[in-house]
A = this chain, B = another copy of it.
Amino acid sequence: MIIGLTEKLKNDFGITFKHPALLDEAFTHASYVNEHPRKKLKYYERIEFLGDAVMQLCVSEYLYKRYPSMPEGKLSRLRAAMVCEDSFSKFAKECNFDEYIRLGKGEEKANARQRPSLLCDIFESFIGALYQDQGKKGVDQFIGQVVFPKLDMGWFDHLLDHKTELQELLQKSGEVAISYTEVTDEGPEHDKQYTMTVSANGTVLGTGQGHSKKAAEQNAANAALKKLNAK
């Protein structure tokens, strides 16, 4: 058993593993197994193979449902930005998973514990263990806490331009005049809340709020996209 890991998962994420041996496998690097041949340990690579595919599906399904009018190309670019070494290593670090990896001495000296590729592997292998222990539902709950909030925190905003998406959608069927109008600004100067509407050929399609005009416009475009798609 890896000391402290089960408590950590329980306290931080409300997760209790039915089969903690899966966690041992998920957090054990091949270099540790090689140094302890008598313990007959398993290392994480097989379980990581599974976890990688689990993440691919869970993220795809979430994006597919959350952005019902987003074209496939944009969905794919967004998925690629979320399901990648850079993102996964950050998620692993945020969960303090680096502290629980069982590493061989050589790898420890080489500072592998902080290597993004290893952190990414551990995030995937943890997901593979969680999937086996608690099914897709358990994984969806965990990444609902750790991964998906990043969309609202702006991590992927460079890929989420709702104004461009709305424009592309509206102009599919010919030329359309799109305009954004400020309705109100409320609150004190340092905490102003703007409300904007977006119109096509004079008809209001959506309203959005935000702490800047730009953010309020993006939210108005997003509201319009949701409405148009629900038709």
Which residues of A approach B to under 8 Å, CB–CB?
37, 45-46, 48-50, 52-54, 56-57, 59-61, 64, 70-72, 75-76, 79, 136, 173
Contacts and interface: CB of A to CB of B under 8 A. Distances in A.
Contacts of A173: 37
B75 A49 contact: yes
B48 A72 contact: yes
The A interface is mostly helix, strand or loop, or mixed, namely helix
Contacts of A64: 46, 49-50
Nearest to A40: B231
A46 to B, nearest CB: 5
Contacts of A52: 60
Nearest to A52: B60
Contacts of A70: 46
A104 B173 CA distance: 18
A61 B76 CA distance: 23
Contacts of A48: 72
Given A56-B53, A56-B56, A173-B37, A45 B71 contact: yes
B50 A60 contact: yes
Contact of A53 (B45, B50, B57): B57
